[in-house]
Amino acid sequence: MILITLPDLTSPLGQKSSCFQTTNTAVPYSHFCLTLLKIYRLEPWPVHLLKTIGGPLKKLSMNPSSEDVQAHYHSPELFERIVRQLKASGVDLDNVKRSDIAGVDEFHVRGAEVSQELAAAVAIDNKRVLDVGCGIGGPARMLADLYNCQVTGIDLNEEFIRTAIKLSELVGLETRTRFIQADAMQLPFASQEFDVVWTQHVQMNIQEKKAFYSEIHRVLSRNGIFLYYDIFKKGSGTLQYPMPWANSSEISFLAEVEEVALLLETLGFKKIQTKDQTATGIQFFETLLNKIQASGPPKPGLNLLMGTTTLTKLSNLLEGLSSGNLELQSGVFTPTS
C-alpha cells in the first residue's frame, strides 16, 4: 500500500521536512518533489523548489555537478520554438532540410563546418558511431546523411534528447539516428560496440575525466577511432563568466591539453593526430559576432539554447581564446589495448 499526500507546488517548500510513505521505506520530501516535477513536467522548474531539493540531489548524483549542468542547459519546449522560427522564416515544414536548422543544431565553435572537417579526417563511411554529448543531434544527422553512418547520440539533458529525436524525424533521418538520455560516465552500451566515438565540447562540464575517457575506451572497438574537438584551459589567467557551457566556475572543469593527452595515453589510447583550432575559432567568433550585431542571430539560432545572455557568453569565450587563457584543439586517437 502506498499513501501519498500531494503538496501545493505554488507554496514555499523550504520549511517542510515530512516524508511520504511506501510499504518499504520513507522517502525524503525533497526526493519526492523531484518525482513530482517529472510527473507534472513543470517547465521551467519553480525556483523555490530547485533551492529546496538542490542539496539532496547533489548528494544522490554519481556526478556532484550533474544536476547543475542539466539546469544550465535546460531549455523548455526547444523543438517547438525551433519549429516556430522555421515557420516564421518561411520554411516549408513538410520539407525541412538539415541546412534549415544548421544555425541551431550544432552547439560548438564553428558549428557544422568543423564537424564536416572532423569527419573528413578519418575513414568514417558506414561506421557505427557514438556521439557523446550529442546536444540536439546536428553532428549525428550530418554523419548519417553524408557518410551513411548509423549514429547513436547520448546526452544528459532530457529536452535535448527529445528535440534531437523530433528533429531527426523532421528531416527524415530517424532510421539512421537514435538518441538516448544517459550519463557519459556510465554509458549504457556493451564493450566495443562502436567503430567511432565522437565528442565535441563536453569534457568542460565533467569533473571526473578519467571515468569519462575510460567509458569511451570501453565502448570503442579495438580498431576504432576516437575523435574529439574541445576547449581547454591554457595558462593561469582568470576567465570571465558566463560561458556557453557554464554560468560560473562551479560547473566548469577545464583541463589543459597536456593533462588530457597524458590521461588518454595512460588509459590505452595512441595519438594519430592533433590540431590547434584556436585561430580558426577566433576568426569564426569575430565574424559571427559582427553578423549578430548587424542583423541579429540566425533564425533558428544558438540564442534558443543560450537565452538572453548569448552575446555575453560568446564574447567571453572569444576573449578567453584571444587572450591565450583558452585554446581549441581537435584530436584523433585509437586504442592500443
Q: Taking the CB of residue 12, how many other CB atoms lie within 10 A of it?
A: 12
Q: Is the pLDDT of residue 71 over 90?
A: no
Is residue 73's pLDDT more than 90?
no
Q: Between 287 and 51, where is the model more confident?
A: 287
Q: What angle do CA 154, 327, 183 make, to 5 degrees?
A: 15
Which of 157, 160, 124, 161 lies closest to 142 in space, CA to CA? 124
Average pLDDT, the chain: 82
Identity of residue 41: R
**88-122 per-position pLDDT tens digit:** 999 999 999 999 998 878 777 777 888 999 999 99
Sign of CA dihedral 102, 138, 207, 42: positive
Can you give the pLDDT at residue 207? 94
pLDDT at residue 290, as a whole number:
83
CA distance 17 to 22: 17
151 near 179, Cβ under 8 Å? no
Residue 54 has pLDDT above 90, yes or no: no
Per residue in 261-286, pLDDT (tens digit) is: 999 999 999 999 999 999 999 998 88
Q: Does 241 have pLDDT greater than 90?
A: yes
Identify which has the larger pLDDT, 279 or 66: 279
pLDDT band at 308 (very low <50, low <70, confident <90, very high): confident
Predicted pLDDT at 6: 43
Dihedral sign for Cα 179, 183, 185, 188, please: negative
Can you read off the three cell numbers belonging to residue 117?
572537417
What is the pLDDT at residue 65?
62
The domain 81-335 belongs to what CATH superfamily?
Vaccinia Virus protein VP39 (3.40.50.150)
pTM: 0.78
Region 118-129 average pLDDT: 96
Confidence of residue 323 (pLDDT cuts 50, 70, 90): very high
pLDDT, residue 311, reads 86
* pLDDT value at residue 210: 97
Residue 3 binned pLDDT confidence (cut-offs 50, 70, 90): very low
Domain boundaries along the sequence of the chain: 19-60, 81-335
**DSSP reduced 3-state for 331:** strand
User: Which residue, among 32, 52, 28, has the nearest Cα to 40 in the 3D structure?
Assistant: 32
Alpha carbon distance 217, 306 (integer Å): 31
Answer left, alpha or beta for residue 110, where phi above 0 means left and psi between -120 and 50 means alpha. Answer: left
pLDDT of residue 316: 94
